[in-house]
A and B are shown apart, each in its own frame.
Chain A
Amino acid sequence: DGGITQSPKYLFRKEGQNVTLSCEQNLNHDAMYWYRQDPGQGLRLIYYSQIVNDFQKGDIAEGYSVSREKKESFPLTVTSAQKNPTAFYLCASSISASAADTQYFGPGTRLTVL
């Protein structure tokens, strides 16, 4: 079955710790995205990648880092520099980074900072 997987589903972190969220897709999509969603709010773009070994900052990249070493994988690291990291994190992919391409989402990771 083709799709996007994110792990873990729930993640708890102590203040000051870095944590990495996994995102894998087997759809052969070139573009991948990370979004943050706060309760009752919309989706805000953190980072996106149009192709392997390339990525661009979105609207709220501060305190986050990403890598794109493989087409299938786009992990997101939430660093200790992110002041308020508790949120729902969604990974998505699309065939390409074109306005006409639909984004398909993974199930999300809910991060809570204790």
Chain B
Amino acid sequence: QQPVQSPQAVILREGEDAVINCSSSKALYSVHWYRQKHGEAPVFLMILLKGGEQKGHEKISASFNEKKQQSSLYLTASQLSYSGTYFCGTGVTSGTYKYIFGTGTRLKVLA
């Protein structure tokens, strides 16, 4: 049931780009993206609500394809501060509502 993220981990040099994918076996109506630094709480990055929607936040953007039940997070010209674990999250209804997070992607940016 948990959305699967890929890759599981990625190492980048400063200035390089990365793509993180989130795939669900269930229908997605919205997707949230969060970043968690080591030992800290997850911090909300952005929400995508409509099929095919793209949003941007500084040099981080995301897309959402309802038909494919997928969302992707794009990090361009990565900075050291982008290091952390990225999670997608979504609400699911199977009897009762609950919110679930993806498997997570660990991203490390090196100088």
Flag if B44 contacts A90 (CB, 8 Å): no
Contact A90/B29 with A43-B87, A97-B91, A100-B47 known, Cβ cut-off 8 Å = no
Q: Which listed residue, B41, B96, B98, touches A105 by the CB 8 Å rule?
A: B41
Q: Which listed residue, A45, A88, A108, touches B98 by the CB 8 Å rule?
A: A45
What is the number of contacts between chain A and chain B, taking CB atoms within 8 Å? Answer: 59
Interface of B is mostly: strand
Question: How far apart are the CA atoms of A52 and B49 in the complex, in Å?
Answer: 27
Stretch at the interface among B56-64, B67-75, B100-108: B100-108
Q: Quick check: is A53 within 8 A (CB to CB) of the other chain? A: no
Number of chain A residues close to chain B: CB under 8 A: 24
Q: Quick check: is B43 within 8 A (CB to CB) of the other chain? A: yes
Can you give 23 contacting A-B residue pairs, CB < 8 Å?
A33-B99, A42-B101, A42-B103, A42-B104, A43-B87, A45-B99, A50-B97, A58-B98, A90-B41, A94-B99, A97-B91, A97-B97, A99-B30, A99-B90, A99-B92, A99-B93, A99-B99, A100-B49, A102-B44, A103-B89, A103-B99, A108-B40, A108-B41
